[in-house]
Amino acid sequence: AEVIATDKNGMLAQARFLSQLGKQVVVKLPCTTEGLAATRVLSQEKIKTNVTLIFSLSQGLLAAKAGATYCSPFVGRLEDQAPQQGEELLSHLRTVYDDYHFQTKIIAASMRHLAHFESAVGIGVDAVTAPLHILEKLSKHHLTDLGLQKFLDDWHRANLKFPN
């Protein structure tokens, strides 16, 4: 659930309200000075947070230092500006979080295509948010389709039947 306030006190009030909606709620805050300050307080209050709109290693580092439960680097939006930068950011974040033993989990966001998803998973992010058109492609591969058809053709040629 995302706050819409842009000042620390407004974010804190909205975050506290949103967190009362259920244990599963994670409060999204923007990676701004005010958002990071609010994240620090919410972390101390044991309210789960997701610092979002992350576009640089320094932003991801600040989110972790503030105690964010999750951070969301926006891979696709970053790569709209500079190709390969999203993948590079995820890789750097994974390394820094692991090296410094940060508990913040990385949610790769703004996936534009299957290659973004596969790269993010290969780097070792903790989660990925992706649109339906990408999720539908996860189990698809043309060699799987060809292989399945070959299996079915062989089965039918053998004239075998499953018992009833």
Question: Is 28 part of the annotated catalytic residue set?
Answer: yes
Q: Check: CB of residue 111 under 8 Å from CB of residue 73.
A: no
Instruction: Compute the distance between CA of residue 115 and CA of residue 104 in angstroms, rounded to an integer.
Output: 24
Type of residue found at 149: Q
Instruction: Compute the distance between CA of residue 147 and CA of residue 112 in angstroms, rounded to an integer.
Output: 28
Instruction: Compute the distance between CA of residue 22 and CA of residue 16 in angstroms, rounded to an integer.
Output: 11
Active-site hit among 8, 23, 28, 140? 28
Instruction: Compute the distance between CA of residue 130 and CA of residue 132 in angstroms, rounded to an integer.
Output: 7
Please identify every residue annotated as catalytic: 28
